[in-house]
Amino acid sequence: MELSATEISALETSKFSIKHAKELIGDLHRPIAWIYWTDFLCSIIGGHLLFAANVNADLWLTGSYAFGLFVQATLSVLTILLFLRAVMFTHELVHLPREGWTAFRVAWNLLCGIPFLIPSFTYYPHIDHHRRKSYGTSDDAEYLNLSHQPPHAIVIYLLAVTITPFAALVRFAIMSPIAWCFPAFRKWTFMHASTMVMDITYERPEAGEKVYRIMLFQELCCFVVCWALVLHGPIVAQTWVDPLWVHAYLVSIGILTLNNVRTLGAHRWTGTGSELSFEQQLLDSCDYPYRPWITELWGPTGTRYHATHHLFPSLPYHNLGKAHRRLMSGLPAKSIYRETVKTSLLYEIGLLFQRSWASWRQEFVARPTPSQANDQMANAA
């Protein structure tokens, strides 16, 4: 049930005992390497194998057209789910310790980040999403005040996935070599086209030389991937309608759509652009602990526990469920943490549309018509 404005205001003024919460989960901060390696490698290798099988289905798939369509659709869904899980490890890379995880970061980039044109440098600013003073402000690339925008803004956000693969192709195949040659364009590209964002007006701040060196190497690798993909049709497949392009685009759309839908339910998006208190940030985030057989598919690697993750960003994904259960058991009955627990992603997205519609309608109704505005001006005169 959606809380009333009065109930939300009362909760926001309640103080959350972070000390008590830390005591409950203090032993869960150590990431276990074999879990990360096994999970990631099984996901990405399985995804690549299924994708290859689908692209080359004409070489092994027999039977009726309807049966073939069903098999390929099933392979596509499984590929999308496995690839989404592998992709979401980019979120873990930001929060993992700097020491001892270099090999995992390299493996993720080589097997997933670079082939998918989402190298790890594009997600470095994610850490600002967890800073109290930047969360929900213009310094947060991953926040939109969707509860205060008209419903079509949410729809546009969802439909943007259709052009995102082309934007990535342009970024690394065309913009990268131009940026290598012209320093001014390099600076603009870094500020405006080098970050995975929700807010397209976000400007990435300057970074250190190490970040630029990593970025240059990863850009070069992505440049090679882009042109290998582009030239695969006319040179390897000897066609201008390459099945590889079609499958890659459709899988990309599937991954992006599923992730964007998950993102819409990860927060309540009630911020207005100003700084939020710790309690407000916690109430703005959501956990989905129920029905893991389905929530783990759309919210893999702990992303279905988004509120718990915001509470303790350094917790490894494999301990978030355990942390959530301990907090629910050990925190007071009236703790605001319990308000972050949600039962249905689609229901929460529906509430987001309701808040958006109510906000837009209130603004639209409150705005005077041109004739009313003229009357008001005349009365004032």
Tell me which long-range contacts 364-373 makes (C-beta under 8 A, separation of at least 24). Answer: none
User: Does residue 279 have a pLDDT over 80?
Assistant: yes
Q: Where are the domains of the chain?
A: 31-117, 122-286+342-365
- In this prediction, residues 90-114 reach a mean pLDDT of 96
User: Does residue 367 have a pLDDT over 80?
Assistant: no
Q: What b/e string do you get for 158-183 counting C-beta neighbours within 10 Å, with b at 16 or more?
A: eeebeebbeebbebbbebbeebeeee
Q: What is the pLDDT of residues 59-100, one digit of tens each?
A: 999 989 999 999 999 999 999 999 999 999 999 999 999 999
Neighbours of 64 (CB within 10 A): 8
What residues have CB less than 8 Å from 247, skipping those under 6 apart? 51, 54, 55, 76
Q: Backbone phi, then psi, for 305, in 5-degree steps?
A: -105, 60
Q: Residue 361's pLDDT is what?
A: 86
User: Does residue 339 have a pLDDT over 60?
Assistant: yes
Q: What is the pLDDT of residues 229-255, one digit of tens each?
A: 999 999 998 998 899 999 999 999 999
DSSP one-letter code for 267: B
Q: Residue 16's pLDDT is what?
A: 83
**The overall pTM is greater than 0.85:** yes
Q: Residue 6's pLDDT is what?
A: 47
- In this prediction, residues 318-326 reach a mean pLDDT of 98
User: Does residue 27 have a pLDDT over 50?
Assistant: yes
Residue 186: both structure tokens together: 């390099």
Q: Residue 347's pLDDT is what?
A: 97
What residues have CB less than 8 Å from 357, skipping those under 6 apart? 150, 151
CA dihedral 257→301→292→83, nearest 10 degrees, is 40
Please spell the DSSP secondary structure of 165-201, one letter per residue.
Answer: HHHHHHIIIIIHHHHHH-HHHHHHHHHHSSS--S-TT
Residue 236: both structure tokens together: 């390897």
Residue 341's SS3 state is strand
From the list 345, 372, 319, 298, the residue with the least C-alpha distance to 85 is 298
Q: What is the pLDDT of residues 127-154, one digit of tens each?
A: 999 998 999 999 999 999 999 999 999 9
CA pair distance 132, 254, nearest whole angstrom = 32
Give the pLDDT band of residue 362 (cuts 50, 70, 90).
confident
Residue 2: both structure tokens together: 């959606």
